[in-house]
Amino acid sequence: MGKPKGKEELLFPAKIALLLAVPSLLLFIFFNIWPIAFSVYLAFTNANKINMYRPDYPARPLQFVGLSNFIQLFNDPAFYYSLLKTLLFLATSVPLKMLVGVGLAFLFSSPLIYGKRIMRGLLLTPWALPAILSVMIWRGALDPRYGPMTQFFSLIVGRPFQAVGTIMNEWDAFLAYNIIEMWLAYPFVMTVVGGAISGIPKEIIEASIVDGADVFSRTTKIVLPLIMRTVAFVAVLTSGASLQAFLIPFVLNDGGPMIKFMGKLIFSNDLLLLYGYHRFMRDHEWGYAAAFYLIVVLILSIYVYIWFRFVFQRGGK
């Protein structure tokens, strides 16, 4: 007996579909899998700008070095300072972004605010502009001589505010990173949290008003618990962005100023990704930079696992 006619008719379209998927699969391997695999290979070599193109370079031929790059990395004081500064940036920027974004979301959920559509549209401007353009605008606003934001912050701190320029202050620059990061991220937080607030049934709010609950009680005991999973999800996304911060320190002042740490001159605001970029572009140590980025991927993976394990799983029980 032959195969059923209906089954034979299905085989031909399936083969065609598989054939059509082959180009996409090849592009995926070439643009995604191959760069990752090649980076892993580089992490265990002494690759640099010269021997990558001339593997038999007499002074330093391209060769397998095992774990040497990782050993060098974990003995580099600049790496530890970069990691510490990135974790500090995570601890300061995420609460600031969430505070401003969630606060604006609650503000514009109030029926007492008039012209909400126009005001919300204006507040979404940082989201609409290219990120690099926003950072360049902030760089101009923080100009040490003519920048209006420099004058403003100088009045607050009671001394010249020096986040950019030839003479920089480490913590002034760090504060500027936090403010710019908040400026770029609050529209996203405001939009997502505002959508969660608008999804709360009005009957629940009306019932709490009838029961005599004031605004503070309604916010903290009713609205916040109902949107907490959304807030936690947004916090995960924005904290991931803080861990991978690159554009802001790179464009604003290239991670400066330089300081002396454990007997070595380092860039004081070299956040993790910028640190690896400098090892690749400035030092031309491509194998070392690849090893560093493997460690960064491991750090990010552990961070995401902790968030999903202790926030989302516990929240779902």
Q: Are residues 71 and 86 in the same domain?
A: no
Q: Are residues 55 and 199 in the same domain?
A: no
Q: How far, in Å, CA of 228 to CA of 230, rounded?
A: 5
Q: Are residues 168 and 61 in the same domain?
A: no
Tokens (6 digits) for 178:
């936090």
Domain that holds residue 71: 38-75+285-317
Q: Are residues 203 and 243 in the same domain?
A: yes
Mean pLDDT across the chain: 85
pLDDT at position 218 is 78
- pLDDT tens, position by position, 51-105: 888 888 777 888 899 899 999 999 999 999 999 999 999 999 999 999 999 999 8
pLDDT at position 247 is 92
In a domain, 290, yes or no: yes
Q: Are residues 56 and 130 in the same domain?
A: no
Ranges 39-43, 119-123, 179-183, 244-248: which has the least confidence: 119-123
Q: Are residues 145 and 226 in the same domain?
A: yes
pLDDT confidence band for 128 (50 / 70 / 90): confident
pLDDT at position 307 is 75
More confident residue, 223 or 272: 272
Average pLDDT over residues 118-127: 81
CB 175 within 8 A of CB 163: yes
Looking at residue 113, its amino acid is: I
Q: Are residues 70 and 81 in the same domain?
A: no
pLDDT over 90, % of the chain: 36
The predicted model scores a pTM of 0.84
User: How many domains, the chain?
Assistant: 2
Q: Are residues 317 and 279 in the same domain?
A: no
Average pLDDT over residues 144-152: 88
Q: Are residues 215 and 84 in the same domain?
A: yes
- pLDDT tens, position by position, 212-267: 777 777 777 888 888 888 898 898 889 888 988 999 999 999 998 888 888 888 89
